[in-house]
Amino acid sequence: MNIFDELSWRGLLHQTSDDAGLRDHLETPGRVLYCGFDPTADSLHIGNLVPLLALARFAKAGHKPLFLLGGATGLIGDPSGKDKERQLKTEDLVGASAEKIKAQAMAFFERLGVADAVTPVNNLDWTRPISIIEFLRDTGKHFTINYMLAKDSVKSRIGREETGISYTEFSYMILQSLDFEHLCRTQGCTLQIGGGDQFGNITAGLELIRRKTGRQAYGLTFPLITTASGAKFGKSEKGAIFLNPELTSPYAFYQYWINADDRDVVNFLRYFTFLSQEDIEALAGQTEAEPHLRAAQKRLARETTAMIHGDAELAKVEAVTEALFGGGDLTTVDAATLKAALQAAPGRNYPTLGDVPPLPKLLADLALCPSNSQARKDIKAGGVSINNVRVTAEDRTLVPEDFLGGDLLILRKGKKNYGVVTLG
């Protein structure tokens, strides 16, 4: 299938500079394209997944994607979608973030089997040597102020008297255009892809290429991903969902997807997986007929977690999920994943086992029960478990063997109320 058609049925085509022309252009394999990522943080997040996956989709379709790091543009700040100026970062910070993002992205492409087809580049390499005179004469000369003021990214800021837009961010469009023209001239790049807010910058690049080289190039953007509930995609109660496991644990990552709304899950399967149209339609039918089974959500969580964190981490996450919510054996699961899963649960830490209070008081201290007396009643009624094993004796003494890995004990009241006790 032509990659243009695949992106279309997946709902990933928002704007193009020329639908028919681009589709015909992509009939020939080996087309060079790029997508830029400014290193504004030390990790990519799931909001970056659509363009990352698009580069992989193009690679699988036989084209030649460039993963562009904005080592130069990241020092300037993109005004697109922003209502005020970005805080400028030092070159050292931007460079360090760029290296981390590059390693993260290339590991992602490696897991998908397309690392050899994706080439990382950094726009600082060709921007740094240019003098200000060269920039103004060779590039700036091709842009009129009228043309730049008409772009949404600039127009929206001009109307804000209290913030406006600096000359620095005003020039961002020209820098991004310079990237496209440079890659077109040196590497035969004929397509830039990006988020919907980048269309103005992309078309500015097309204009520069036309003026300086006379060549034909194209632009393509993806739609802004939103949820049916109106919540911002990619955000949880704790903030952004990062691809770095140190910032968002694989368990939390998995849970974000498995909790997808029924109204969103089919679209998410199209956007964020490589599943075929037939497989997604089958899961859509199952979701409509048996929504309580959450088959589509489980498949979505499996696909995305394996893609970002690998099969080994997925296995750990699924084992912990089954143990916590299916009543499985907690002694056999990965302790680090278990701790991450229960990060939001109430917890108490004690220096030694001898410092841990009796079980009824422990339940009250963890707010799993309102009082010691109610805790004793709940224990007698069989409503309390230690590491998923039901307790029936209120004078049950805790022993070293109760602590998983020697330092972790999981208390549960009812089906979903957990408490964590740690030693040391």
For domain 347-423, give the CATH number.
3.10.290.10
In which band, very low, low, confident or very high, does the pLDDT at 231 lie, cut at 50, 70 and 90? confident
pLDDT on residue 107: 96
Which residue, among 34, 176, 187, has the nearest Cα to 105 in the 3D structure? 34
pLDDT on residue 340: 87
Average pLDDT over residues 42-53: 96
CA distance 369 to 373: 9
pLDDT on residue 142: 94
In which band, very low, low, confident or very high, does the pLDDT at 395 lie, cut at 50, 70 and 90? confident
In which band, very low, low, confident or very high, does the pLDDT at 392 lie, cut at 50, 70 and 90? confident
Report whether pLDDT(287) > 80: yes
Average pLDDT over residues 322-330: 81
Name 419's bridge partners: 411
Share of the chain above pLDDT 70, in %: 99
CA distance 203 to 195: 13
Binding residues for L-tyrosine: 34, 172, 176
pLDDT tens for each residue of 72-93: 999 998 888 787 888 899 999 9
- Tokens 């698009």 locate to 54
- CA 284 → CA 154, 294, 299, 342, distances in Å? 41, 10, 11, 31
Start-to-end CA distance of the chain, whole Å, equals 58
Every domain of the chain and the residues it spans: 3-222, 235-341, 347-423
26 Cβ contact list (under 8 Å, min separation 6): 2, 3, 4, 61, 63, 191
Mean pLDDT of the chain: 93
CATH 3.40.50.620 is held by the domain 3-222: yes
Lowest mean pLDDT among 162-166, 243-247, 349-353: 162-166
257 Cβ contact list (under 8 Å, min separation 6): 268, 297, 300, 301, 304, 305
Report whether pLDDT(160) > 80: no
Binding residues: 34, 172, 176, 235
For domain 235-341, give the CATH number.
1.10.240.10
Helix axes 295-309 and 262-272, enclosed angle (nearest 10): 40
Binding residues for ATP: 235
Residue 19: CB atoms within 10 Å: 14
